Structure 1
């Protein structure tokens, strides 16, 4: 079909004060263009590739070499590894992180409800698998406080605290509080959770669901981790006090745990309190004063946590703190060597399947948050779906070796980056150091007081507690962000971690829905002597055109928003449904025109409309019919390709077509010239 432009010319506009670099004035000199004319001139092809064509194209791009390097990124970066530039930094960073892994791993292993040695397994088995498949170069994988405390909840629910006792295994089926007792060890439950998390993450990767991490907004994650820090603190207070208390499951765990501590405070062990207070004082002194001073003198950070572990282990061994005199609870037996690969019980996988969902999502979201931070600083790409695959493989492999779910540590990752780590070779160096500890040096820490590990964990929570200050920032961002933070925080604190996370996700989804429904509308006026149209309320020099009103709308126009769109339009142009009804009763058009205040043309600017459905199109038709009653023409302008496609599709289905112009100015000139004819 031959192209034929509208038979109206735009008047040449010359800007005397605004000239190009070569002194030539800017001119506008072309025909008024309707949208279909513009699409013809630009050669717009509305036909999209079929699904089969897209699949064939993707298959052509796939090569065996690309598949292998995409699946296993180490095959791509390791052959190109610059030894002279990066090796020294990676070795120093690996040694530094290994030193942190020992105390943190033991502490967070204990926090997860399993033996401290599990934390060291975490720094070796799954970490090496992540090196093969992960895309982040700087995060330090292993144990993390929030994931450990979430795992401990599942361990407490499905494991028997007296596992190994003949009486417990054969006769006891109900606990004193009426909850069932399952015949599984804490190790079995923890590894079952790890395996299920791994399967979930691989399935999510296959389904390309890496984008789901975006459901956990910054406000949600901030409120969740801050509240989780209180769970971690509460879980450690019993070791600080030297008390052995029953484990609480389900809702109001913090409240019930604090109640038990208060009721049993007279049974507290003063020696454990002295050790914890001394450890906390030492760590605060090192972190707040010595480390900042030393960081200016040398690149290698002071291993304060390891110094505390070694010092209190020696003191405990020398004074026999775990003996009958002092009665301090110690770490106890730490086996040497590597664990024998063991498959978690199959029936246990079914039991923990629901509970593991929250652990899976939280660990992945924290990983992606940290990975994106470092990737942005160092200008490289982190692939969300590949990260899911790396976590999935790491967790499944780790589940055979007594590991809990894998996650990066915020503090260790920061130290790894600050120590100069360039690639995941840092993790290989760190894992090698941990291997020597597992094979030979583990039993040296058997006399370490648990109160020492509790003190290290409590001090490490400072950063998470300080996140409370971020609430002020979220209140400035908006009421929805504030609601996400407060709702998640209070639910996690008062009820439980998994319920709090679910609450936060629901609030986050509602916030997204509300933001999607939220719109912005305004009436536009012309900047004098230009083809630019701006909001009349906020631009005092803009002028409103005679007989023409231009309505600008920002948002989607669909079944959920179309009624609000219509109401905003009528409110802005000063015409309501009562006027339309009265005009419909008039016997002549001249009489009906008296209701429109000399308005002849209504232009709807669609430049900020992202989507329109059939309900939205029918709303346009209603507006057009209503405006026709008062002799007002309705034009559309500035539609994006996807919106224009929707309008064209609706017209093809038998609905009357709209006159749609390429720009607002085209519509204005067309309306002005038409009214003058």
Structure 2
């Protein structure tokens, strides 16, 4: 075994790894000469706790700082940016972006309206009413509100559960419930959920949906979307499946009926998919370097498919199913079927959380890029109002599309005024070209949807990145994906959330902890001795740092981590007597064969710099640790607690814990331990 001196010499050997030595041009120095302070002295000198925290004082301050104008513009963000809007600088970009996004809204709205189980017109209405509401109340300047595959798929699941079958007749006990009645009631309920979450200040709820969860969920949902489109791609009539394992039953039925495929429908669909793939993979990347406007492959496919359908009369000659009549003009406002709301609460909550997470993730991405602020609770408010208004105008629950949002930003969109331009163009489309699209084959929209899902399937590549983050991230992705694909969308989401919470709990029970040492050349600098070879332990003193919270859930793990770092096994130690022997600055331990406790230190400093919270159970655990170590001649100090942690320690001492010796900084505690050692 090497001696302490030999170990120190070995530690001072040059590092084999490459190091970067960056020195500032100016190296200021500071010298501090003062007495070692206890935390109580600092508390008295700084007047901690002297501020009035009573309810009357808080109400008085709130009234003093309250401003009607600030509150009004906070609720209606358009009043903040519209007065400073520059027609010369911003309007051209917004107009171009609005026109381009409108071109994408037409095929997206029709396709995702059908995907949701209602008419294509409902998808087009999504580009008008919720979009205009978000323009007024939303805080993101670049996202494109409207239809999205995942939201439409989750809506379809609800429609299949609660809407009546087409062949079902009304009875005395049961009324007929149409898909549009389910959809509008669902949109209203989702909007109410968003408003409730906004009033409860639950804007951070999206943090529960981790990146692996959202990634696995959307990839699994994409599989569902593809399966729902196969019946239109093959020209088959597939019965509606309710309950769990819908995707499995649908695939089994499709395999049984594959011999009855309408070849004309399949060829038409494959032709559209081939055209869109060539545009997306070859033509768009080439023209992107030469032209500001993207190639509207989806719109070209929809218009081209409609023209071919009209010229060749594909419905009577080839039995290809068409979209059918699309209402001309805007829908008449109608009150949703309120009796459905109690049955839709669970589904609406899931849709509310998922759509909000999608909107927030995209909004934060653009806000970071363009340096402006997104307010989470205001986003909930905007989505809530948008869904409630949409529920009166035959709309499905709103979301935002990554593709449309990127196009809106890349074509020069500066504000949500681009949404106004887009909505005006969609209204013109509904008034003048709506009857034209009645001849659009359903297989064309199926091909558009399937090709548009490619980015969602490509998310599976992220699994490699998650594997580098940890096994629990991979487990979250796999469990969510498998749950969504094999069981159901809602159950898959619940499974993913449970795994994510379990992930957080496990990481909370196993936080980062270490022993600290000092750097001889840098006074008052303490670093992890396991990572820094030139760091040394303070003689007769152990410094333990723990990152995280100390509460009822982590108290035992904190104690175990501490004793493991100190190489103690107090549970097996019956009686140990500390006999310090100084030799060349090193402390030798008692070598008695009946001693199981390493007593090479007399002082233990708990560094609370990175401790975020402590509760009564944590305070009691600290008292137990202090009393256990006191039996073996070890004195415990607490250093650098945050104010809220200090208050919890004082509260714990008031109920019989402690008493703890607390210092304002880690260096104060170490210097005090050195003084006690030399005394």
TM-score, structure 1 as length reference: 0.91
Report what 2:169 is aligned to. Answer: 168
Aligned to 2:456: 464
Q: 1:462 to 1:652 in 2, by over 3 A?
A: same
Q: 1:346 to 1:32 in 2, by over 3 A?
A: same
Q: Are 2:251 and 1:258 aligned?
A: yes
Determine whether 1:185 maps to 2:186: no
Question: 2-side partners of 1:22 and 1:102: how far apart?
Answer: 61
Matched with 1:131 is 135
Q: Which moved more, 1:25-34 or 1:363-372?
A: 25-34
Match of 1:446, SS state, is helix
Cα distance in structure 2, aligned partners of 1:53 and 1:503: 46
- Residue 522 of structure 2 corresponds to residue 532 of structure 1: no
Within-5 A mapping of 1:89-100: 89-100=93-104
| Secondary structure in 2 matching 1:341 | coil
Q: 1:81 to 1:39 in 2, by over 3 A?
A: same
CA shift for structure 1 position 308? 0.9
Q: CA deviation at 1:564?
A: 2.0
Match of 2:328 among 332, 336, 347: 336
Taking the aligned partners of 1:439 and 1:21, their CA distance within structure 2 comes to 69
CA contact (8 A) 2:184 2:337 kept: no
For 2:34 and 2:500, how far apart are their aligned partners in 1?
A: 48
Question: After superposition, where does 1:132-171 map in structure 2 within 5 Å?
Answer: 132-162=136-166, 168-170=169-171
CA distance in 1, matches of 2:466, 2:65: 44
Structure 2 residue 500 is the aligned partner of structure 1 residue 508: yes
CA contact (8 A) 2:570 2:597 kept: no
Structure 2 distance, partners of 1:616, 1:226, is: 41
CA separation of 1:615/1:66 partners in 2, compared to 1, >3 Å: closer, same or farther?
same
2:80 matches 1:76: yes
Provide closer, same or farther for how the CA distance between residues 58 and 47 of structure 1 changes in structure 2, counting only shifts above 3 A: closer
Provide closer, same or farther for how the CA distance between residues 597 and 255 of structure 1 changes in structure 2, counting only shifts above 3 A: same
The CA deviation at 1:462 is: 0.5
For the structure 1 residues 674 and 254, does the alpha-carbon distance in structure 2 shift closer, same or farther, using more than 3 Å as the test?
A: same
Alignment-derived partner of residue 33 in structure 2: 29
CA 1:262–1:35 in 2, change beyond 3 Å: closer, same or farther? same
| 1:407 corresponds to 2:407 | no
Find out whether 1:558 has 2:551 as its counterpart: yes
Structure 1 pair 77/25, CA: closer, same or farther in 2 (3 Å)? closer
* Whole-angstrom distance in 2 between the partners of 1:184 and 1:449: 27
2:596 and 2:125 mapped to 1: Cα distance?
A: 83
1:613 aligns with one of 599, 612, 615? 615
Q: Distance in 2 between matches of 1:295 and 1:150?
A: 34
Contact 1:241–1:272 at 8 Å: present in 2 too? yes
Q: Does the CA-based 8 Å contact 1:19-1:26 persist in structure 2?
A: no
> Structure 1 residue 54: deviation in Å?
2.6
Distance in 2, matches of 1:556 and 1:202, equals 32
CA contact (8 A) 1:375 1:382 kept: yes
* 2: CA distance, partners of 1:486 / 1:284: 28
Aligned equivalent of 2:109: 105
Cα 1:578/1:393, change in 2 over 3 Å: closer
Partners of 1:468 and 1:627 lie apart in 2 by: 51
Is 2:118 the partner of 1:85? no
- Please state whether the residue corresponding to 2:164 is helix, strand or coil: coil
Q: Are residues 612 and 353 of structure 1, via their aligned partners in 2, closer, same or farther at CA, if it must alter by over 3 Å?
A: closer
**What SS is found at the alignment partner of 1:508?**
helix
Partners in 1 of 2:641 and 2:346 — Cα distance?
46
| C-alpha deviation, 1:89, in angstroms | 0.5
Work out whether residues 330 and 448 of structure 1, in 8 Å CA contact, stay in contact via their aligned partners in 2.
Answer: yes
The answer to whether the 8 Å contact 2:638/2:661 transfers is yes
Structure 1 CA distance for aligned equivalents of residues 29 and 305 of structure 2:
81
2-side partners of 1:515 and 1:321: how far apart? 59
Give the superposition deviation at 1:47. 4.9
Structure 1 residues 528 and 106: CA distance shift in structure 2, 3 A: same
Retained in 2: the 8 A contact 1:580–1:630?
no
| Aligned pair partner of 2:567 in 574, 592, 607 | 574
Q: For the Cα contact (< 8 Å) 2:620–2:652, is it kept in 1?
A: no
Distance 1:49 1:676 in 2: 44
Mapped partners of 1:650, 1:31: distance in 2: 28
Aligned counterpart, 1:350: 342
**Contact 2:77-2:136 within 8 A present in 1 as well:** yes
Q: Which residue of 1 aligns with 2:306?
A: 313
Match of 1:272 in 2: 265
Residues 141-174 of structure 1: CA distance to partner in whole angstroms, max 9, x if unpaired?
A: 1111110011011111111231xx6x71238x8x
Structure 2 residue matching 1:531: 3-state secondary structure? strand
What is the Cα deviation at residue 606 of structure 1? Answer: 1.7
Contact 2:578 2:632 in 1 (8 A): no
What is the distance in 1 between the residues matched to 2:507 and 2:556?
17
d(CA) in 1 for partners of 2:658 and 2:284? Answer: 74
Q: Return the alpha-carbon distance in structure 2 between the equivalents of residues 311 and 595 of structure 1.
A: 83
Residues 128, 24 of structure 1: alpha-carbon distance in 2 compared, 3 angstrom cutoff: closer
Answer yes or no: is 1:194 the counterpart of 2:194. no
Q: 1:556 to 1:92 in 2, by over 3 A?
A: same
- State the secondary structure of the residue aligned to 2:636: strand
* Paired residue secondary structure (1:582): coil
Q: For 1:281 and 1:593, how far apart are their aligned partners in 2?
A: 78
CA contact (8 A) 1:105 1:119 kept: yes
1:496 aligns with 2:488: yes
1:33 to partner: Cα distance: 1.4
Instruction: Give the Cα separation in 1 of the matches to 2:211 and 2:26.
Output: 49
Which aligned pairs between 1:183-332 and structure 2 lie closer than 5 A?
A: 183-323=176-316, 325-332=317-324
Cα separation, partners in 2 of 1:123 and 1:22, compared to 1, 3 Å: closer
Paired position in structure 1 for 2:383: 391
Structure 2: distance between partners of 1:84 and 1:58? 40
SS in 1 for 2:622: helix
Deviates more, 1:575-584 or 1:383-392: 575-584
Taking structure 1 as reference, are residues 279 and 54 closer, same or farther at Cα in structure 2, changes over 3 Å only?
A: same
TM-score by length of 2: 0.91
Q: 1:673 to 1:236 in 2, by over 3 A?
A: same
Matching of residue 122 in structure 1 with residue 126 in structure 2: yes
- After superposition, the Cα gap between the structure-2 partners of 1:440 and 1:594, relative to the gap in structure 1 and judged at 3 Å, is closer
Q: Structure 1 residues 453, 23: closer, same or farther in 2, change over 3 A?
A: closer
Compared CA separation, residues 544 and 337, structure 1 to 2 (3 A): closer
| Structure 2 gaps, min length 5 | 1-20, 580-589
Measured in 2, the distance between the counterparts of 1:252 and 1:22 equals: 67
Per the TM alignment, residue 77 of structure 1 is displaced from its structure 2 partner at its CA by 1.3
Q: 1:433 to 1:50 in 2, by over 3 A?
A: same
- Please give the alpha-carbon distance, in whole angstroms, between the structure 2 residues aligned to 1:650 and 1:23: 44
Deviations 1:463-520 (A, max 9, x none): 0000000011111111221121111100000001011111111111222222222222
State how far apart, in whole Å, the 2-side matches of 1:201 and 1:23 are. Answer: 53
Q: Alpha-carbon deviation of 1:182?
A: 5.8
Give the deviation of 1:603 after TM superposition.
1.9
